[in-house]
Amino acid sequence: MERTLIIVKPDAVQRGLIGEIVARFERRGLRIVGMKFMQIDRQLASRHYAEHEGKGFYESLLAYITSAPSVVMVLEAPNAIELARRTIGATKPIDSPPGSIRGDLGVEVGRNLVHGSDSAESAAREIDLFFAPEELVNWSRDVDRWVFE
């Protein structure tokens, strides 16, 4: 099983899209093993987006992610990272296919609704930033045998 971090960003929360977005991941077959509603502070945001420090959009990115609450989740499935990223769509909503979260609900790259880890290394680092090990639940769903081989 692979795990990935998902952030339902402030714009999605403000637009009332939490349920819609979580439902898309669940319908896809990804299993939620951790979830919290939280206000991301500047210190956590700067650690999360450390690779963008010094770039022209860095300060606006921090202002955006700390502007309102977010929902942070850890999802699990075989190939969870790629499954989640395809469910989310391309970074630019205009380049995202219909049926993806950003393709159906997004308009601009600066308000692209959802973050998803882009690699196993990023996922491990990001999960550790947002969740203590005891906050993640190891469990199985009765339906898993119909989703996972």
CATH number for the domain spanning 10: value is: 3.30.70.141
pTM of the predicted structure, to 2 decimals: 0.95
Number of H helices, E strands in the chain: 8, 4
Full 3-state SS string of 35-100 = EEEECCCHHHHHHHCHHHCCCCCHHHHHHHHCCCCEEEEEEEECCHHHHHHHHHCCCCHHHCCCCC
Does residue 32 lie within any of the structural domains?
yes
User: What are the tens digits of pLDDT across the range 39-90?
Assistant: 999 999 999 999 999 998 999 999 999 999 999 999 999 999 999 999 999 9
Residue 146 lies in a domain: no
On whether residue 49 sits in a domain, the answer given is no
Q: What residues make up the domain containing 126?
A: 2-38+70-138
How much is the pLDDT for 90? 96
- 78 lies in some domain: yes
What is the tens place of the pLDDT at every residue in 13-43?
A: 999 999 999 999 999 999 999 999 999 999 9
Is 48 part of the annotated catalytic residue set? no
Assigned token pair, 9: 């960003």
Q: What is the mean pLDDT of residues 114-135?
A: 98
* pLDDT for res 63: 96
Contact 40, 47 (CB under 8 A): no
In a domain, 50, yes or no: no
Asked, for residue 128, whether it belongs to a domain, the answer is yes
Query: Does residue 104 lie in a domain region?
Result: yes
Is residue 98 domain-resident? yes
Provide the domain count of the chain: 1
Select which of 3, 9, 48, 115 is catalytic: 115
Q: How confident is the model at residue 139 (pLDDT cuts 50, 70, 90)?
A: very high
